[in-house]
Structure 1
Amino acid sequence: MTPALVLERLMLHPSYDQFVQRARQVAPVALLDQADAAATDAHRILADVAVRLSDNPARPTTAGDLPGWLRLSLLDTLTAFADGWATTCRHNPAADRPSPVVGAAWKPHTVVCPTCIHLLSLKHNPDADALCDGCGHRCAGPEHGDGIYPGMVQLGPLLYQYGTCGGCRPEVAGNGPLRATQTAEQDRPRGTGRVKPRGSRGRSRGRGGRA
């Protein structure tokens, strides 16, 4: 079983909230403070994105509220980053030095700092930009009523971007125990299919790689 699947099983367990509280009690205080500060900064970024994407604010959700493809995609990139083998930007973000970082469903195992978000851009790859991250459907474009809906989910310091066709848009809601997870979605398709930036697809592997 992969680390992402193990973490998914834990997050879907009804006692996950209690587990998190116990883990916080034994975590090094300095690291916990840094992680909390990074998560707060990441949430500020998400809240700003939510305002720009739609009239709806970012809202809490649970792991169970997310569709399986999005949940596992996020956790796969998160665990790769935590294990130290994700591809990163030249600023070398690392899980043991908590700070806001950004990933994307269309570029697995790649994590960059907010300054280097351009490394996730798909502006020079319109064909990839039109693909739904959920089902792989190639959207014809908003002018045909078939555009990409961009969204973002936050888990701790990680901000994770995705884009879906109308049929794959997550229906997320709050009130669950995973209060640190937030989502923001665009109400309507924008432009040629996505609010910018969005990055190139494909798996970037290799320990310590650079995007």
Structure 2
Amino acid sequence: MKFTSTRSPMALDSAKVIAQGISKEGGLFVPESFPAISDEMFEKLIGMTYKERAAAILSLYLTDFTEAEILHCVNGAYTGTFENEDPAPLVEVKTGMHLLELWHGPTCAFKDMALQLLPYLLTTSAGKTAPEKTMVILVATSGDTGKAALDGFADVEKTKIIVFFPQEGVSPMQKLQMTTQTGNNVAVCAIHGNFDDAQTGVKNIFSDES
């Protein structure tokens, strides 16, 4: 599986695009094609646990990862970090109606589903592409993303994370969640302005080659 940019033609492996984040032209990375899932595989996915299903789907896209690497990422992200063995339980509300619960992660935000996994994907990718480097993650947030990202990356080796948020643009609870985050590699910065200002600032940092 190769990935290309929305702004320029290229063909890169998943480890490269995960480590790089965005293309040099500012585009987003997308798969060159989407793998087809047969009826037989779909039936197998239905019977799997969340972790098994995550590993099966990731293996379709991260073809430069070994099976052991994918299992390391999935098990690290979803074992012992959520309230339940099933990170996203499907609960029957009434006959014919079910609710997918996405708040059982460490920060009670649905973004824990991705941001508990991302540090493992990123460090595994960095090990393949630039093992000697420390990865710095810059985040602009209006609330939930910041805390979820901080929790996911806290004390992860060879990573640092800085979260920018609007001083008056998040709830008191969200501000406390972010500013009390523990970890030797985390930093939080309040800005004067709104979320768009924070996001623009992060994009400017990414585009500044100096």
TM-score (structure 1 length as normaliser): 0.24
Determine which structure has more spread, i.e. the larger CA radius of gyration: 2
TM-score (structure 2 length as normaliser): 0.24
